[in-house]
Amino acid sequence: MPIVFHESSKDFHLYNGQISYILTVLRNGQLGQLYFGKAIRDKESFNHLLETRARAMAVCAYEFDRVFSMEHIKQEYPSYGAGDMRHPAYEIVQENGSRITDFVYKSHRIYAGKPALSGLPATYTETDEEATTLEITLEDTLIKTELILSYTIFEQLPVIARSARFISHNPEQLRLNRAMSLNLDLPDKDYEMIELTGAWSRERSVKNRRLEHGITSIYSMRGCSSNNFNPFLALKRPETTEHTGPVYGFSLVYSGNFLAQVEVDTYDVARVSMGIHPEGFLWPLNNGDTFQTPEAVMVYSENGLNGMSQTFHTLYRSRLARGFWRDKTRPILINNWEATYFDFNEEKILNIASKAKELGIELFVLDDGWFGRRNDDLSSLGDWYPNLEKLPEGITGLAKKIQAMGLKFGLWFEPEMTNFDSDLYRAHPDWILSTPGRRVSHGRCQYVLDFSKTEVVDNIYEQMYKVLSEAPISYVKWDMNRCMSEVYSHGLDAGLQGTVMHRYILGVYSLYERLTQAFPEILFESCASGGARFDPGLLYYAPQCWTSDDTDAVERQKIQYGTSFVYPISSMGAHVSAVPNHQVLRYTPLNTRANVAYFGTFGYELDITKLPEDELETMKQQIAFMKENRRLLQYGTFYRLLSPFEGNVTAWMVVSDDKSKALIGFYRTLQPINVGYQRLQLKGLDETQNYHVTLAGQSSEETPKRLHVDMSAYGDELMYAGLITSDAASGENQEGYQGDNGDFQSRIYILEAMGK
């Protein structure tokens, strides 16, 4: 069994063939952290890894014992104030005002499999043999409260999933104002912290900084996980690269306010903590009440950042995403938003759908503007019934007509929002988050419905259920276009206002759960003004997310590259849009737009009824290519090769499980001249296989001047000597523009095994 408890030493050892995680029961009954990293052999005692020394001015747990100071011991789930002055994992305020607690070991349980978390998304197993779970029960007898720490180690992955649960048996009310999902004390600070940061239309940029004394943190207090920071951080050694060296990855399965930080004390211990942000959080615990933290996932890789990412990809793609669409290739879609915005009628929509069918597109998605009196963003959110002036036969009639063409039909909702100009708001003005007597801020002319109220969630569910049950709908795009402000729930007791933001997220999860259970074959795609809620929590309900509102092919290289640090290719909504691009006003070639979007869930977002025939023919070829390769693209092993944050060229690749086929995306932003010869070292191939190498889209009719690749090479050559990518830029570049030189160019290399 991959979890053992050694009675004599009080050590717990969680291990598989890749990692070990070791903790122990300390002399005072609390838990100490001994080791997390590459797998090591089990033995009866690891107590020598608990380092203690007498330190001047230390506050110690035992009188006349200058060694046992909680401030200088690496702990598992620490509290503040009883000797440890660092940031705690939790804090409980008692009736007398005290915040001091003493949770000591009471019992533990080891069992096969992994439990679900009530009301919360979490990773899971399909058989008990896939994972083993350890639950350690700690108790503070003075405040009559139990704390259960849960650890699950997966058999075949270097992964540990963690959470904490508080159970009060106290007749007096307790107040929980901090409850992290994990704490990890590491022995030194010699790490660089990687985070994914940004803003609307430049989400999840990769940032790297050295740890130093003090706190390095990322967070969201916006009510959503946010496009500013993602609930993820990684710690790597300075010498670690994309492909070699040790790295720890930490990811929170949650969609609301979060805090992820590393505190380095002046003895160089690095304390990692991650969980719900304590700002504005205050959760009362009455006798019999339970509070469950979200799940945090810890990954350790010896094979660099790619190794870490590939573990997250496998876990989140196959044991976080669920349901009918988890393992299925995603349909190629067209969305009408950038083609029409609010200005459409049934005839215009049917014309786009008809042309889409001719091109080989499989799914038509009707975006914002189909409901209430919605002709702009000023009205009707919350009124989820069709606008019969635009669609005389409603959504049902339109969906049936599109289905008769041979296309599936999808629909946009923004369930969590309303406008003042809506039937919903006029009937229930107390259903929005707003503070009595205070100005209500708006974003995008809309207001946040109070999803902490069950009656609000019930109302939206009933409206959406009616639409989805009456029409042949195969896809739902679930949008969320503003963060929370003036967070106050009308009718809720003052002492419960600190629960609203978390209850809101639980309400979102509840609505997702009810709809996905009622309509299991509908493909749900989450969206939050693009990528403002691209997090593991929503992948549990919606296996793909709209990666960003920015569809520019150059910017998307950065966005998709950063997103891939945690999230699988199958989760990234990626579309070809019009030029000039609607966000950055840049002109990029149609092939480059597709070559970037292939590495995601592929689609289009432009008015195809206005395109020239040569571009339509190119789109047919793109769609055929994606259909042929989408299983590989969406479910193969993904490698980052060259970073868009470090140079003019970006490269990545996907390799099939059997290593018989690979696709390499190669992107060059600006055209250089007279530069050196270029090679690209590939990854993940079979060294003994001979691969035929070609370019996507090339044919025997290519002119001699145009870049043409038709060669063979063994996997070891392609990985160690490299694939030659030199072209006309390694010279005077006098060939003339042929579609393969100039700015914003790209290629897709195809590698197919020919045998050994």
pLDDT at 735 over 80: no
The pair of three-digit structure tokens given for residue 384, joined into one six-digit string: 């989820």
pLDDT at 200 over 60: yes
456-500 tens-digit pLDDT: 999 999 999 999 999 999 999 999 999 999 999 999 999 999 999
Q: Where are the beta strands (DSSP E) in 155-246?
A: 159-168, 174-186, 192-197, 205-210, 214-220, 232-236
pTM over 0.85: yes
| 710 HSE (CA, 13 A, CB side) | 8
DSSP per-residue codes, 568-609: -GGGEEEEEE-SS-TTT-----HHHHHHHHTSSEEEEES-GG
The catalytic residue positions are 479, 549
Answer yes or no: are the C-beta atoms of 343 and 387 closer than 8 Å: no
Residue 65 banded pLDDT, cuts 50, 70, 90 = confident
- How confident is the prediction for the chain on average, in pLDDT? 96
278-335 tens-digit pLDDT: 999 999 999 999 999 999 999 999 999 999 999 999 999 999 999 999 999 999 999 9
The pair of three-digit structure tokens given for residue 387, joined into one six-digit string: 């606008």
For residues 45 and 24, give the distance between their C-alpha atoms in angstroms, rounded to a whole number: 10
3-class DSSP state of 135: strand
Rounded mean pLDDT of 585-590? 96
- Comparing CA positions, the residue from 36, 35, 31, 34 lying closest to residue 78 is 31
145-159 tens-digit pLDDT: 999 999 999 999 999
437-447 tens-digit pLDDT: 999 998 889 99
Q: Name residue, tokens 């007279």.
A: 674
Which residues does 65 contact at the CB level (< 8 Å), separation at least 6? none
C-alpha of 45 from chain center: 38
- Phi, psi torsion values for 426, nearest 5 degrees: -60, -35
490-523 tens-digit pLDDT: 999 999 999 999 999 999 999 999 999 999 999 9
pLDDT at 701 over 60: no
Residue 82 banded pLDDT, cuts 50, 70, 90 = confident
Instruction: Kindly tell me the burial class for residue 107, based on how many C-beta atoms sit within 10 Å of its own C-beta (0-12, 13-18, 19 or more).
Output: exposed
Residue type, 120: L
Instruction: Kindly tell me the burial class for residue 572, based on how many C-beta atoms sit within 10 Å of its own C-beta (0-12, 13-18, 19 or more).
Output: buried
pLDDT at 702 over 50: no
Q: For the sheet containing 661-668, what is the strand order?
A: 637-642, 649-655, 661-668, 745-755, 690-695, 710-714
Residue 421 DSSP one-character state: B
Predicted local distance difference test score (pLDDT) of residue 706:
64
628-676 tens-digit pLDDT: 999 999 999 999 999 999 999 999 999 999 999 999 999 999 999 999 9
For residues 741 and 608, give the distance between their C-alpha atoms in angstroms, rounded to a whole number: 26
Predicted local distance difference test score (pLDDT) of residue 703:
47
